[in-house]
Amino acid sequence: MRTPLILLVISLLGLGGALVWPAAADLILLAGPAALASLLLLLREWLRGPSGGKPGKSKRWIVVDGSNVMHWKDGTADLGTLRAVLAHLRELGFSPGVMFDANAGYKLAGQYLHDGALGRQLGLPKDRVMVVPRGTPADPMILTAARDLNARIVTNDRYRDWIETYPEINNPGHLIRGGFRNGQLWLDLH
């Protein structure tokens, strides 16, 4: 996990240098894709966790769209809602990883919250929670993580803008819808 992180930092420094120093503008052509690739590698390692995420390690991975699920109860952002969903998923034998949009902390606490802070509040290890960088859409990161892990996604989002790139969205059961009715959690696990 260290190598993708180092590559990401170097790439981001290259991007920053290219933006500040006009003579290095061409560096964007190299640093931009390198930053994206290293971010995807980091995401893959993060979701695999210490066991490597291999099927033989008895992990049934599931990716949770945290920014979507935290609104399931009463339409307001609440980590309690997400905690209830995570507890239920663990009871069902899943190993959840949660991904958030960069603005999730602002919706929850009026300030930026990083992976570790949200992980602590959710009772998950830091390597199971990811807040995507500002300006990066979470949807393709969620979809890529699910594809890499052969995992399903817990969300009410339909990801319609991404169907062409991620056709597995149309597979029955790939996206797990849910919510609360009369205070009770329901998940469509079919």
Query: Does residue 170 share a domain with residue 84?
Result: yes
Query: Does residue 157 share a domain with residue 99?
Result: yes
Exposure of 55 in the CB half-sphere (CA atoms within 13 A): 4
Query: Does residue 117 share a domain with residue 57?
Result: yes
Which CATH number do you get for residue 83? 3.40.50.11980
Quote the pLDDT of residue 56. 43
3-state DSSP: the chain helix, strand, coil percent, rounded to 5? 55, 15, 30
Q: What is the pLDDT of residues 38-68, one digit of tens each?
A: 777 777 777 666 555 444 445 899 999 999 9
Query: Does residue 182 share a domain with residue 127?
Result: yes
- The number of distinct structural domains making up the chain is 2
C-beta separation of 89 from 176 below 8 A: no
Query: Does residue 113 share a domain with residue 27?
Result: no
Among 55, 6, 63, which Cα is nearest to 35's?
6
Query: Does residue 181 share a domain with residue 140?
Result: yes
Mean pLDDT confidence for 166-190: 94
Query: Does residue 61 share a domain with residue 97?
Result: yes
Query: Does residue 103 share a domain with residue 38?
Result: no
CA 138 to chain centre: 6
Query: Does residue 107 share a domain with residue 27?
Result: no
Quote the pLDDT of residue 52. 52
Q: What is the pLDDT of residues 114-123, one digit of tens each?
A: 999 999 999 9
Quote the pLDDT of residue 55. 43
Quote the pLDDT of residue 49. 60
Query: Does residue 78 share a domain with residue 17?
Result: no
Mean pLDDT confidence for 134-150: 94
Residue 82: pLDDT band with limits 50, 70, 90: very high
Residue found by looking up tokens 């980091």 in the block? 42
Quote the pLDDT of residue 126. 85
Quote the pLDDT of residue 48. 62
Instruction: Give the residue numbers spanning the domain of 178.
Output: 51-187
Query: Does residue 20 share a domain with residue 9?
Result: yes
CA 141, CA 157: separation in Å to the nearest integer?
Answer: 14
Is pTM, for the whole model, over 0.75?
no
Q: Counting beta carbons within 10 angstroms of the beta carbon of residue 104, is it exposed (0 to 12), middle (13 to 18) or buried (19 or more)?
A: buried
Query: Does residue 102 share a domain with residue 168?
Result: yes
Residue found by looking up tokens 């240098």 in the block? 17
Quote the pLDDT of residue 164. 96
Q: In the sheet that 129-131 helps form, which strands lie side by side, from edge to edge?
A: 129-131, 95-100, 61-65, 152-154, 175-176
Region of poorest pLDDT, from 21-30, 114-123, 147-156: 21-30
Quote the pLDDT of residue 78. 95
Quote the pLDDT of residue 124. 94
